[in-house]
Amino acid sequence: MEHGFADATTLDIATRAQVSKRELYALVGAKEAMLAACIGGRGDRMRLPEGYPPPKDRAGFRDALARYAATTLAELMDPNVLAAFRLGIAESKRSPAIAQSLLARGRQPSRAALKSLLESARAARLLAEGDLDEMTSHFHALLWGDLMVWVLLGTHKAPASKEIQRRADEASDLFLALHGR
């Protein structure tokens, strides 16, 4: 984050991590793999917990949506995640692999988690017919709208947990009004 992706050396990273460069390569690989692993770790958290029960009624579906939303938004607003997004934007020309990692290891797993929840809600007849990919996009748009842009630009502060929960609840209620049965 201090030097930019291209100018940060694996020696700098190993020194900061207090490991040898050889150990760093053995554990993680090249710095692209290091960044992908960090992004993937966050991406894996943007979902419901393992074993979360599929919704059986509208209230359970709403609660699951709100929990997914609050978890996802809290992860996205973490200062380290915001820094990774800023890095990806700043380095998009020189290091397009950063944006690809954000897409493949962050966005896609999070969207897949929401789509899985929507599939289980549809199986329980809690969700109207329609394209699940579009519904996933609608839900995310309801959740954060243009917030991410302004937080990344520094004109707005990342919301605190109370505001995150309010947004999660509101997005869930609006989504159910649009797509629920």
Averaged pLDDT for residues 70-82: 90
Averaged pLDDT for residues 38-55: 74
Q: How far is CA 63 from CA 67, 71, 81, 154, 166, in A?
A: 6, 12, 25, 31, 13
Number of domains in the chain: 1
Report yes or no: 126 and 61 within 8 Å, Cβ to Cβ: yes
C-alpha dihedral over 105, 103, 127, 170, to 10 degrees? 100
Query: 5 in a domain, yes or no?
Result: no
Residue 39: what pLDDT? Answer: 67
pLDDT in tens, 78-91: 898 888 888 888 87
Query: 159 in a domain, yes or no?
Result: yes
Averaged pLDDT for residues 149-155: 94
Q: Which domain holds residue 153?
A: 10-179
Residue 169: what pLDDT? Answer: 98
Query: 2 in a domain, yes or no?
Result: no
Query: 3 in a domain, yes or no?
Result: no
Query: 92 in a domain, yes or no?
Result: yes
Query: 4 in a domain, yes or no?
Result: no
CATH code where residue 34 lies: 1.10.357.10
Query: 172 in a domain, yes or no?
Result: yes
